[in-house]
Amino acid sequence: MQKVLIVDDSSTETKILETLLMDKYETRCAKDGAQGVELAKEFEPQLILMDVEMPVMNGYEACRTLRDSGCAIPIIFLSALSETGDKLKAYEAGGDDFIGKPYDIKEMVAKISRNLERHDDQLELSENHQQAMQMAQRSMVDLSYLGRIINFTQKIGQCHSYEELVRRTFSLLEEINLHSSMLIHSTDLEDQVFFDDGKERPVERSMLMALKGKRRILEFSKNRCAFNWVRATMLIRNMPDNEIENGAMKDYLGYVMNAVEDAINTLMVQSKLRSTILKYKDSNKQMKLAIMKIIEDFEESLEALFARPDVAQSLPVDVEDLVINLAHESTMKADELFSSGFNMESELDGVVDMFRNEEQAEDVEEDDDDAITLF
């Protein structure tokens, strides 16, 4: 039931008004303007019926006092002074309507109902406007965050170390005002824990290690939340208090963790490629050295064989030339194989250098004016 405050120094008038309104409204009465101002704070009515001529504080003064204090509810003046000047004073004081005494009951009921409806409509419009502004501000923030995350996902795949990957992730989180720690559990290194401010936190370290392999998203309190992916676990220490913002932030951090996961997988593949290439190069080198040793031994054996008098005298010249030619051809074929091996090593060196050179190319991209930035 809506509340109506009656401010009038006439007990007869107040009793009549209470009787008229009691079936539809909850009423309270004040005997002068000063008491009306105090009762309005306590009673919190939706409408005030205000007499003009009262002791201590008249209706105009009471209305101004209420308006100055921020009171925005409808105030209807009731007065036997019904001249135009009196009505102007009522409106200047902040009144919403004026009913002359003796008043018509139907008119009074209609004006009370109309002013209450108009005030409710204004409140609804105000609330809708406020909600629209909040949604617009939320959308602006969302676009800003999404712009940063897009930039992050475009560049994070070019990281060349886990330290660089974590540094870029912490940098993004700092831009969106989040504090965090992170565990990287790749297959090509021992588990490593990183802290955004570089300060060791044993409890967080233990928690991150314990979360490995557990549920995807875990909330520990209103502001702490862990994001547990296959290759990385991230702990946020200051999630937003607002429920809507908190939910949206979880979605954003899910995108971030997907990008981090892909980057870790890329680093793992690169590490395995480097290891395989280096092992192949070493094996190829050992093979070449072994072939060279066999050829050298073969040549030395031939020279020693032909140096023997019994062999040199017993072999026809054409056979000797044939053997020498075969040895020469074998040496040339071995040289060709060496050249192929050296070319393959150069190509493998180029693959290894490619991983290193990407870092320099990435440094140039850091200053690219075409990078996506929404805000």
Return the DSSP state at 225: E
Which helix H or strand E contains 194, and what residues bound it? strand 192-195
DSSP codes, 43-110: H--SEEEEESS-SSS-HHHHHHHHHHTT--S-EEEEES--SHHHHHHHHHTT-SEEEESSPPHHHHHH
CA 33 – CA 53 distance, rounded (Å): 9
Residue 370 lies in a domain: no
Same domain for 247 and 176, yes or no, is yes
204 and 186 inside one domain = yes
Task: Give the residue-averaged pLDDT of 224-235.
Answer: 91
pLDDT at 36: 95
119 falls within a domain: no
CB 37 within 8 A of CB 82: no
The pLDDT value given to residue 62? 95
- pLDDT over threshold 90, residue 7: yes
In the chain, how long is the greatest CA-to-CA distance? 156
Number of independent structural domains in the chain: 3
Q: Which of 180-194, 331-345, 359-373 has the highest mean pLDDT?
A: 180-194
- Give yes or no for residue 355 having a pLDDT over 70: no
Res 136: pLDDT:
54
272 against 41, higher pLDDT: 41
Mean model confidence pLDDT for the chain: 79
| Mean pLDDT computed over 39-46 | 94
Last residue of a domain, one of 238, 267, 296: 267
**248 and 331 assigned to the same domain:** no
Q: Do 277 and 319 lie in a common domain?
A: yes
Q: Are residues 315 and 332 in the same domain?
A: yes
Residue 263 and residue 275 in one domain? no
Q: Which range of residues forms the domain containing residue 65?
A: 3-103
The tens digit of pLDDT for each residue in 24-35 reads: 999 999 999 999
pLDDT of 49 above 90: yes
Pick the more confident residue, 6 or 155. 6
In terms of average pLDDT, the best of 57-71, 208-222, 352-366 is: 57-71
315 band by pLDDT with thresholds 50, 70 and 90: low
Q: What is the mean pLDDT of residues 238-260?
A: 88
> What are the tokens at 112?
């009370």
- Sign of the CA dihedral with 118 first, then 119, 124, and 130 last: positive
| Cα angle for residues 257, 191, 204 (degrees, 5° grid) | 70
CA distance 287 to 276: 16
Domain at 217, CATH number: 3.30.450.270
The pLDDT, as a whole number, for residue 362 is: 45
pLDDT-wise least confident of 50-64, 234-248, 264-278: 264-278
Shared-domain flag, residues 169 and 235: yes
172 and 82, same domain (yes or no): no
Find which of 74-83, 253-262, 311-320, 339-348 is predicted with most confidence, using mean pLDDT: 253-262
pLDDT of residue 6: 94
User: How much of the chain, in percent, has pLDDT values that exceed 70?
Assistant: 71
Higher pLDDT, 187 or 71: 71
Asked if 70 and 175 sit in the same domain, the reply is no
In a domain, 259, yes or no: yes
Residues 197, 209 within the same domain: yes
Give the separation between CA 137 and CA 349, rounded to whole angstroms: 53
User: pLDDT (tens digit, 9 = 90+) per residue, 106-125?
Assistant: 888 899 999 999 888 888 77
Last residue of a domain, one of 267, 301, 322: 267
In a domain, 124, yes or no: no
Residue 195 covered by a domain:
yes
Whether the per-residue pLDDT at 341 is higher than 60: the answer is no
- Do 260 and 177 lie in one domain? The reply is yes
The neighbour count for residue 263, using CB atoms within 10 Å, is 24
Confidence band of 310 (pLDDT split at 50, 70, 90)? low
Rounded to 5 degrees, what are φ and ψ at 87? -65, -40
Distance CA 19, CA 247 (A): 52
Is 327 contained in some domain?
yes
Contacts of 49 (CB under 8 A, 6+ apart): 4, 5, 6, 7, 8, 17, 76, 78, 112
Q: What is residue 279's predicted lDDT score, i.e. its pLDDT?
A: 74
**Domain endpoint, select from 214, 237, 267:** 267
Spatial contact of 144 and 168, defined as CB atoms under 8 Å apart? no
**Residues 231 and 280 reside in one and the same domain:** no
Torsion sign (Cα): 159, 162, 168, 172: positive
342: pLDDT strictly greater than 70: no
Q: What is the pLDDT of residues 145-194, one digit of tens each?
A: 777 888 888 888 788 888 999 999 999 999 888 999 999 987 667 888 99
Flag whether 284 is in a domain.
yes
Q: Over 50: is that where the pLDDT of 361 sits?
A: no
CATH of the domain at 66: 3.40.50.2300
Which amino acid is residue 92, in one-letter code?
A: E
In a domain, 129, yes or no: no
Question: How far apart are the C-alpha atoms of 225 and 234, rounded to whole Å?
Answer: 8
Q: Is the pTM of this model over 0.75?
A: no
For residues 45 and 76, is the Cβ–Cβ distance under 8 A?
A: no
